[in-house]
Amino acid sequence: MSGKSSASKKFLSIIFVFFLFVEFFKNGSYQTIDVFLDYFKQKNYDETATTIKEIENKYTSEIWKHRELIDINGFMAGKLNMHGLYSDMGMYITDDKYIVSASEYTSTDYEVNETVDFRNYLEENGINLLYVNEPTKYIDDELFIKEFGVETYSNQNADLFLKRIKQEGVNTIDLRDNIREENIDVSDLFYRTDHHWTTAAGLWATSIMADGLNKYCGYNIDTSYFDEDRFIKNEWKECWLGEQGRKMSLQYVGLDDYTELKPNYKTSFTFEESDGTTYDGNFDGFVDESIYNLDNDVYENGSWHYSYNLKNCINNNVDTGKVLIIGDSYAHVIQPFLSLQVHEVDCIILRNYERNFNLRDFIISSKYDTVIIAYAQFMIGAHDDPESANYRMFMFK
């Protein structure tokens, strides 16, 4: 077996050994030895114990040149024009480098029952309910079949759910209807590399929701305050990488654009922190502009979508209205804008609350006159999977 090996193989072996030891020292592998020793010292190896898989995942995620390696992977996937290489992470990519995800079928029974029961409770207590369906990155499930040959039920689930709650008399707004009526290209409402919608889309949706508050909940909001020309625009081209894009790599999907919108009229708010302390400010108080730093690493930097914060607040310039938004992360660019024309707008995301949180008591004690449920439509069906982060989004008890 031990014949004469070629010079190139010998050279290759020297490079390999050098590479192994460089990685060994650069990764601080000597510290990993301690991690393994701790693993062996564990008394039990049940569900609570650290697993080898966890050790491996941590080591791999901190490997030297991790980001460059992710970029190499994405670069090659891009060069090979692959659209489904990361489908195991739930992501597909179109020719326009627009990342989309599929949804499983759901009966919608759970969501319908919970929503109707919640509406009945609110009605008994004289509180309005408005359900707002926020679209995902495509409004026709056929897109998935055409582009990837994959079945998705995102829009079919939403259609079924909305139809059923409408039949039960729940006030609903389906933003997909507005997209169709206004002939908007849905991809213009979303970031390519992130599952969230843009700030401009949030403002557009807020205007429609305000219209819904007027129509269904007895409000009298002047929706012209949400016109884009009433806002100052700050635009950045190719400046940030969304959450999905970070997994698929910068080399594969490229950077996203971003637009910040702030009202060009005077605003005055009293913000309330989670510990109950209050302070005064204007609309700028919603926006953390430190995120907009082009010098920051696009992988390390915070998501630009989250530069708009959910803050419980009182608008000192408006006298009426107390609204609770039961929302998701899309609400980061709804609540600040809706607060411009409603006296008090609070927002909660149910998945962030403990199981013992009593939503109904909270609503009654806080004296809201209106509750808006504003959910991205992929929340419908999340309850089918107990492991889902969004499992509790429709638990309105």
User: Looking only at residues 65 through 84 of this chain, which bind other proteins when binding is defined by CB under 8 A?
Assistant: 66, 69-70, 72-74, 76, 80-84
Residue 55 or 184 having the CB closest to other proteins:
55
**Dihedral sign for Cα atoms in the order 158, 160, 164, 167:** positive
User: Looking only at residues 98 through 157 of this chain, which bind other proteins when binding is defined by CB under 8 A?
Assistant: 145-151
In whole angstroms, the minimum distance from the beta carbon of 193 to other proteins comes to 16
Cα–Cα distance, 63 to 49 (Å, whole number) = 23
Q: How far is CA 230 from CA 36, 132, 248, 263, in A?
A: 59, 24, 37, 6
In whole angstroms, the minimum distance from the beta carbon of 106 to other proteins comes to 17
DSSP class per residue in 297-309: -TTTSPPGGGGBP
In whole angstroms, the minimum distance from the beta carbon of 301 to other proteins comes to 20
Distance of CA 347 to the CA centre of its chain: 15
Residue 145 or 389 having the CB closest to other proteins:
145
Residue 69 or 294 having the CB closest to other proteins:
69
**Dihedral sign for Cα atoms in the order 32, 34, 37, 39:** negative
In whole angstroms, the minimum distance from the beta carbon of 83 to other proteins comes to 6
CB atoms within 10 A of CB 192: 22
Residue from 9, 180, 233, 397 touching other proteins (CB under 8 A): that is 9
User: Looking only at residues 29 through 68 of this chain, which bind other proteins when binding is defined by CB under 8 A?
Assistant: 29, 32-33, 36, 39-40, 45, 52, 55-56, 59-60, 63, 66
Ordered alpha helix ranges (H), the chain: 7-26, 29-41, 52-61, 66-79, 109-124, 142-148, 154-167, 175-181, 199-217, 243-248, 250-253, 335-338, 359-366
In whole angstroms, the minimum distance from the beta carbon of 244 to other proteins comes to 13
Q: Segment near other proteins (CB under 8 A), from 16-24, 201-209, 266-274, 325-333?
A: 16-24
In whole angstroms, the minimum distance from the beta carbon of 62 to other proteins comes to 10
User: Looking only at residues 205 through 264 of this chain, which bind other proteins when binding is defined by CB under 8 A?
Assistant: 249
In whole angstroms, the minimum distance from the beta carbon of 151 to other proteins comes to 6
**Could you report how far apart the first and last alpha carbons of the chain are, in Å?**
72
In whole angstroms, the minimum distance from the beta carbon of 3 to other proteins comes to 7
Residue 14 or 389 having the CB closest to other proteins:
14
CB 316 within 8 Å of CB 260: no
Ordered alpha helix ranges (H), 126-198: 142-148, 154-167, 175-181
Position 298 contacts other proteins (CB under 8 A): no
Enumerate residues 6+ apart whose C-beta is below 8 A from 59.
27, 32, 35
Distance of CA 161 to the CA centre of its chain: 21
Residue 55 or 255 having the CB closest to other proteins:
55
Q: Segment near other proteins (CB under 8 A), from 12-20, 132-140, 315-323, 386-394?
A: 12-20
In whole angstroms, the minimum distance from the beta carbon of 68 to other proteins comes to 8
In whole angstroms, the minimum distance from the beta carbon of 380 to other proteins comes to 22
Residue from 34, 85, 228, 313 touching other proteins (CB under 8 A): that is 85
Nearest to 396 by CA among 367, 353, 366, 345: 353
Enumerate residues 6+ apart whose C-beta is below 8 A from 232.
261, 262, 263, 264
Q: Which residues pair with 308 in a beta bridge?
A: 287
CB atoms within 10 A of CB 45: 11
Cα–Cα distance, 63 to 87 (Å, whole number) = 23
Number of residues that bind other proteins (CB under 8 A): 59
Q: Segment near other proteins (CB under 8 A), from 21-29, 215-223, 231-239, 315-323?
A: 21-29
Which residues contact other proteins by CB under 8 A? 1-13, 15-17, 20-21, 23-24, 27, 29, 32-33, 36, 39-40, 45, 52, 55-56, 59-60, 63, 66, 69-70, 72-74, 76, 80-89, 145-151, 249
